[in-house]
Structure 1
């Protein structure tokens, strides 16, 4: 499933700003520390009538529908004002809290809402008037038909979910995910996202304009944002799972076990001399490249074959054999070219691979953007390294007029990320995911003719996370020059820690608007843990010039894979590489973007 949302209508006020630590009773609370819910936790704005709320829900469903094209499921239920028992909505007497679950699924074979009482068949609720034990909205890989049962087994004897057990269960789930879960036993709604924040999940609230006792809380993969709509949205923080007590009308957070994040090691790097001579270091680096290659191959393999060996096929798109099942967001730079080469190692050679490249400007300008020039060179290198692979370079050229036409939708998807920099990153991602442009005929020869083409690849690989972990940004070099290894260490730690807030939620909303399954191989848990255990001086060598010392270990891997010029290309930010920066309004990147 790719698009989930829960709308909760609450009367008589809502209590916020409460936190629940691991091992605490659900009824005990302490003050909410700084996090993404703070802005939202203020009194929400007024301005929605009952009719507006219905329209809002319908508009939200339209946005969600683009994320999952396999079908739609919904569930409505109420919690009785006096008894607190969950029943399916059947009209009549007004209830205290009314809840709607909406889910759009990626495959027609897999319902988006799973209920405990129909667990065995992964079936959604059938609409009969009866009590439910639990219902799960899940945006992530298939975790198996017993997953809801495992959540239910976390319930304490007294009838509520023990926070420690649920946190342990959810923290053991690998890969990107977000979830919304209703537990009838404790009459609570749990919601959250994986600790890395690789799936989008937002929370917002608004009061009714005719009844100030009515408040609508929305937890959703996307934000319904338009002019005049008085609703505040925030990214759900990744520090734990949030729990909404339906009867007490309180929201608390249960933190993850201390995960520490990436703390790059520099103890040996501080030494005046290398810890080994040059021959030993060469052997050590060779071994590190071997291990990096193994981990990245495993990560890419999981992207291509997510369900026990079955290719994530484009058959849901009614594609024919001429279309690829796998695509790479392809700037032609180091990170994306490595991903393309690893796809080649894992995918049978009979399958074509789409390499999607985006440029902005006039017909002449798009030919000279840095990303277009790099993509052409790296495409040739891939064809030479793997001539049996049917590579397809997809060129997406975006004119100023086409950009302006689609900016309202792109800004709505990116929201609440709304700066000039946010939109200058979001627009290339959105057009790349759409995959509509021209392509060379599938061939090992890079000089074939061009024809209109729209990629139908089910899976899109994106290189997010490589720069943050391997020292790819110019500011990393600046910190090293100013403050040595400690300065570089602090900057990398900060970049990784804020990825969820600055990049991942926004990118997930934008990239999935075209119904693709988006994978981030560089943010695989095993790879990130391995990187965190390495000495920083084995990952980067800032004494070497740009294009050599930054992302040093990745560059050694690129040379191992015979990727030619990509192994020495310096970092070029997407807004400059695609030339969209020339289409953006003047101002600082942190200024608010105004249409």
Structure 2
């Protein structure tokens, strides 16, 4: 995980101010550095370009310094991502350095158009989350963008008064508004000559910007240079819209359950093996990963499979957050008062221990301990009083920008405090709890399972209203919107603590398999009369994942119902609806 920044101006060099530099350093606490370059356009105009990278080192044996700069040609690369594979090749060592070397080789081709094609092929072949900025000084071309699923944040801001374009992982709170770079493709800005502006998905106002005259977008789906290569190496497949004519009820031994097991296991291996120990921490280095843990189906299956992959001398932290919600507490006091006129208070820990996610978290912990008795599971109860929520509200509003709804704030609040990882910890069945701050800098999230396997209420609603065709339309819509969901927002919130979130369910190979799989091999919907429960009395939504849970010995977990994070942790309806 890194924080990256670029400024591009016709007037002078611009650097991130002190506040923005601190926010970048929060994302990348291990190293921060800057580069500057002056570029002369063919017509004599000059560009002043500034680059900043802050690094969180999680790959390789040592911290790799950024921005990457080629000593011969002065090209510069800012990388915020994790390339698990490039084409069909696994990436084991420092991915940023490997990608930069490939980009330099691609850009060394003399012809600008041919070099551009090769650069796009490299970028299109990356599997994993990323946002990047690459300046090819040989041909004076600037490339930037995000991965197709939008797992890393990249924002931009235009200042026409100073003829300034800024790109950054996080917004500058003193200068608004910033806008998210879309995930439709790779953006390319020529610094040599004026080229008609293509539809670039930056902003409508950019049509009149002199600075962005040479900007064009290479769409993942429609640009031939990207499409030909992406189809061969790392595409996300075509959604299977076929409506089955026969129903073959799923069971734990089904082929699709085995395929999901294999692919999810493989995805987790890429994401949790070879993580360096938290050398800066005073705590035990036996903790390399922590899981954002509500006790729900998605995150607990991840925990269960992580147990099969990691050596037993590594402990796993389960981060479970619960909030004091004044409305809930007040309702409880009124209810208590109606039953006992002399009792006006509720137990001190009641606001937290009564949260739905705390209850399911402890219940799933018991099942994990039973099924995986050789693992040290550390349950971290993160209790957030209302006063602390209020105290951090302004920081959260700044972090989620340009998102600005109360729902954005509710979800971000839960992720913000959970990822901080500060709470009361107990290991396995210990009765004593101790104050604890997780040293893990890699967090795992179950995001994506609901979208892929039909876990939302809207999926069952679509089925009961429109049958399988309605369900397929809804699932396809969810898949098409994955890159436009809120992962950029979540990245900005979680990375504020110098930590990186990884999404095993959003592995490209797994996603491709899921969307190409027939609908009845991943969901339990068949007919309104016959699809209420599976043969194991399981809910139809996310049935494939429920069956995998059952197969892995997590029987009670397989029956767990879906609950949104803002309701499970009780961050919903704390405020007025406006921020």
Q: TM-score, normalised by structure 1?
A: 0.80
1:246 is displaced (CA, Å) by: 2.5
Deviation at residue 514 of structure 1 after TM alignment? 0.7
Partner of 2:303: 340
Deviations 1:93-116 (A, max 9, x none): xx7321110001113621121112
- Partner residue in 1 for 2:164: 216
> Is the CA contact 1:266–1:485 (under 8 Å) kept in the aligned structure 2?
no
**Of 449, 469, 474, which residue of structure 2 is paired with 1:486?**
469
Q: Give the Cα–Cα distance (whole angstroms) in 2 for the partners of residues 82 and 481 of structure 1.
A: 62
Per-residue deviation, residues 481-512 of structure 1 (Å, max 9, x unmatched): 11111211111121122222221111111111
* 1:74 equivalenced with 2:58 (yes/no): no
Whether contact under 8 Å (1:262, 1:493) holds in the other structure is no
Deviation for aligned residue 1:58: 2.7
- Please point out which of 227, 230, 236 is paired with 2:181: 236
Cα distance change on mapping 1:262 and 1:494 into 2, 3 Å: farther
Whether the aligned pair in 2 keeps the contact of 1:424 and 1:584 (CA below 8 Å) is no
- Measured after TM superposition, the shift of residue 334 of structure 1 is 0.1
Aligned residue for 1:232, secondary structure, equals coil
Structure 1 CA distance for aligned equivalents of residues 48 and 156 of structure 2: 17
- Further displaced range: 71-80 or 158-167: 158-167
- 1:265 and 2:240 are equivalent in the alignment: yes
Q: Deviation of residue 516 (structure 1)?
A: 1.1
Are the counterparts in 2 of residues 262 and 496 from structure 1 also a CA contact under 8 Å? no
1:520-531 pair list within 5 angstroms: 520-531=503-514
| 2:523–2:544 CA contact under 8 A, matched in 1 | yes
1:570 to partner: Cα distance: 1.1
- Report what 1:36 is aligned to: none
> What's the offset of the Cα at 1:261?
5.2
Q: Which residue of 1 aligns with 2:276?
A: 312
Q: Which runs of 5+ in 2 are unaligned?
A: 83-93, 194-210, 221-225, 326-348, 526-530
Gaps of 5+ in 1: 12-49, 85-94, 119-131, 209-213, 588-592
For residues 580-595 of structure 1, what are the structure 2 equivalents within 5 Å? 580-585=571-576, 587=577, 593-594=578-579
Q: 2 CA distance for matches of 1:199 and 1:409?
A: 19
Q: Distance in 1 between matches of 2:475 and 2:236?
A: 11
Does the alignment pair 1:358 with 2:326?
no
Q: Which residue, out of 470, 491, 511, partners 1:508? A: 491
Residue 398 of structure 1 is matched in structure 2 by: 384
Tell me the distance in 2 between the aligned counterparts of 1:359 and 1:187. 51
Shift of 1:188: 2.1
Q: Evaluate the alpha carbon distance shift between residue 580 and residue 146 of structure 1 in structure 2; reply closer, same or farther with a 3 A threshold.
A: closer
What residue in structure 1 maps to residue 75 of structure 2?
134
**How far is the alpha carbon of 1:239 from its aligned partner?**
1.5
Q: Residues 582 and 238 (structure 1 numbering): CA distance in 2 closer, same or farther, change over 3 Å? A: closer
Helix, strand or coil at the partner of 1:437: strand
Q: Report the equivalent of 2:67.
A: 113
The secondary structure found in structure 1 opposite 2:287 is coil
| Residue 299 (structure 1) aligned to one of 263, 267, 276 | 267
Q: 2:547 aligns with which of 552, 556, 573?
A: 556
Q: Which residue of 1 aligns with 2:129?
A: 176
CA contact (8 A) 1:323 1:457 kept: no
Could you tell me how far 1:263 is from its partner in structure 2? 4.6
1:438-475 CA distances to partner (integer Å, 9 max, x unpaired)?
111x3x32x52111111111210011100000001001
Whole-Å separation in 1 of the counterparts to 2:407 and 2:422: 24
C-alpha distance in 1 between matches for 2:118 and 2:457: 43
Indicate if the aligned counterparts of 2:522 and 2:544 stay in contact, CA closer than 8 A.
yes
SS in 2 for 1:456: coil
Deviation at 1:392, TM superposition (A): 0.3
Q: 359, 366, 370: which is aligned to 1:380?
A: 366
- Rounded Cα–Cα distance in structure 2 between residues aligned with 1:106 and 1:246: 31
Partner of 1:290: 258
**Correspondences of 1:193-204 after superposition (within 5 Å):** 193-204=146-157
- Indicate whether 1:459 and 2:442 are aligned: yes
Query: Greater CA deviation, 536-545 or 346-355?
Result: 536-545
The residue matched to 2:167 in structure 1 has which SS?
A: strand
Which moved further from structure 2: 133-142 or 335-344? 133-142
| Distance change >3 Å, CA 253–CA 463, structure 1 → 2 | same
Deviation at 1:255, TM superposition (A): 1.8
Return the offset for 1:82: 6.5
| 1:10 equivalent in structure 2 | 10
TM-score (norm. length: structure 2): 0.82
Cα drift, residue 320 of structure 1: 3.1
Q: Is the CA contact 2:77–2:132 (under 8 Å) kept in the aligned structure 1?
A: yes
- Alpha-carbon shift at residue 247 of structure 1 (Å): 4.0
CA RMSD in angstroms comes to: 2.3
- Compared CA separation, residues 144 and 61, structure 1 to 2 (3 A): closer
1:430 aligns with 2:416: yes
Pair 286,246 (structure 1): closer, same or farther in 2 beyond 3 Å = same
Q: Quick one: structure 1 residues 466 and 495, their matched pair in 2 at CA, closer, same or farther if it must change by over 3 Å?
A: same
Contact kept in structure 2, 1:264 and 1:535, CA below 8 Å? no
Aligned residues of 1:331 and 1:357 also touching (Cα < 8 A): yes
Alpha-carbon distance in structure 1 between the residues aligned to 2:242 and 2:452: 18
Confirm or deny: 8 A CA contact 1:264 1:489 kept in the other structure.
no
Superposed CA deviations along residues 134-176 of structure 1, whole A, max 9, x for unmatched, are: 1100111332644323213323423466433222211111111
